[in-house]
Structure formats: structure tokens, C-alpha cells
């Protein structure tokens, strides 16, 4: 496994739409493993493939606390089938280091996807898992956390990121 470089906003790949995975091959499984390692090293609770420069519809999530065993979940070609309720959650994003903002999302979601072995599953999620699923799902469509912000908050986030040290920006 390898830790991959995480793309930082305003990297253009973050705005590109990912394409479906045609088959769950050993290369896709290796991508999933590398993404998980990258997410844990960051550390984060979720990571979409385009955040590491791969335009495929894949994301990984693990919302387990540090004192709990890993609960890695893999979503390949996910589709959100239903959304219920509304909640505001303070979100962060590995592509927006040091930024956390209140974002309105559905309180519960139903998602269908393939797992690491290519097996189809359907999951109903709420709480942090539902938030993470929606956040990573949007990444696959080139949508970002800041797209949920008003113009003033969005400008403040962009300015904060422009002021970060060059080393953190990956330059």
C-alpha cells in the first residue's frame, strides 16, 4: 500500500466528474487500499478518488473513533437512492486543510454501491456516516464543500487557503 498525494483546492481535478468503474479488478482494489492508507495517514474520515487525482467513482470512509476498531467502508460506483430530513454539520475536508464549515445536508441517506470485492450492497445511514457519504459522493461529481457556502464565507475560505504555507499546498 502507498500513501498518495492529496489534491488541495483549487486543483482543477477536484472539479472534474469521475467516471464509473467498469470492473472491480486487482488495480481497483489496490487503489482502494492506497486510498484507505492515505485517508488514515492524513488523518481523515473519508476520501474520494479524485482527491488523489484518479477520476473514478470510488470513495472510502471510516468513521470509527480512535479507541474503536477500524470500520472501513468502500463505495464503488455509488448511487444515493434516497435522502431524508435535514441537518447542519460542521465539516472538514482533506482538500481544504485547516478549514471547517457548517454545511446543510440530508440527515439520512440510502446508498447503493459495490464493495471492494465488487459485491453490490445497499446501506441506510445517518449521523456522521450519512454526512461523510454525501460529502464524498459530491466529490465524485466535482462538487465541493464550499459550494454549500454563501459568497462571503466562500471568499473567506478561499483567502485562508491562499495564505497557507507553500509546503502545505504541495508546491
For residues 6 and 42, is the Cβ–Cβ distance under 8 A? yes
Report how far residue 87's alpha carbon sits from residue 33's, in angstroms, rounded to the nearest whole number. Answer: 31
CA distance linking residue 119 with residue 5, whole number of Å: 28
Indicate if 136 belongs to the active site: yes
Which of 16, 91, 104, 136 is labelled catalytic? 136
User: Which grid cell sits at 94?
Assistant: 482533506
Burial class (CB in 10 A: 0-12, 13-18, 19+), 72: middle
What is the gyration radius of the CA atoms in the chain, in angstroms? 15
Distance, C-alpha 77 to centroid of its chain: 13
Q: What is the DSSP letter of 56?
A: B
Active site residues: 136
Amino acid at each position: 500500500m502507498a500513501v498518495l498525494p492529496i489534491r488541495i483546492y483549487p486543483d482543477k481535478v477536484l472539479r472534474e466528474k469521475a467516471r464509473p468503474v467498469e470492473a472491480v479488478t486487482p488495480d481497483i482494489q489496490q487503489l482502494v487500499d492506497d486510498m484507505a492508507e492515505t485517508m488514515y495517514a492524513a488523518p481523515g474520515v473519508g476520501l474520494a478518488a479524485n482527491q488523489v487525482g484518479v477520476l473514478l467513482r470510488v470513495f472510502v470512509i471510516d468513521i470509527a473513533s480512535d479507541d474503536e476498531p477500524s470500520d472501513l467502508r468502500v463505495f464503488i460506483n455509488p448511487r444515493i437512492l434516497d435522502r431524508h430530513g435535514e441537518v447542519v454539520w460542521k465539516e472538514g475536508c482533506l482538500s481544504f486543510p485547516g478549514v471547517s464549515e457548517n454545511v446543510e445536508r440530508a440527515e439520512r441517506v440510502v446508498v447503493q454501491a459495490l464493495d471492494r470485492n465488487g459485491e453490490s450492497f445497499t446501506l441506510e445511514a445517518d449521523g456522521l456516516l450519512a454526512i461523510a457519504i454525501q460529502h464524498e459522493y459530491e466529490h465524485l461529481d466535482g462538487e465541493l464543500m464550499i459550494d454549500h457556502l454563501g459568497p462571503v464565507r466562500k471568499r473567506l475560505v478561499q483567502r485562508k487557503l491562499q495564505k497557507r504555507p507553500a509546503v502545505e499546498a504541495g508546491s
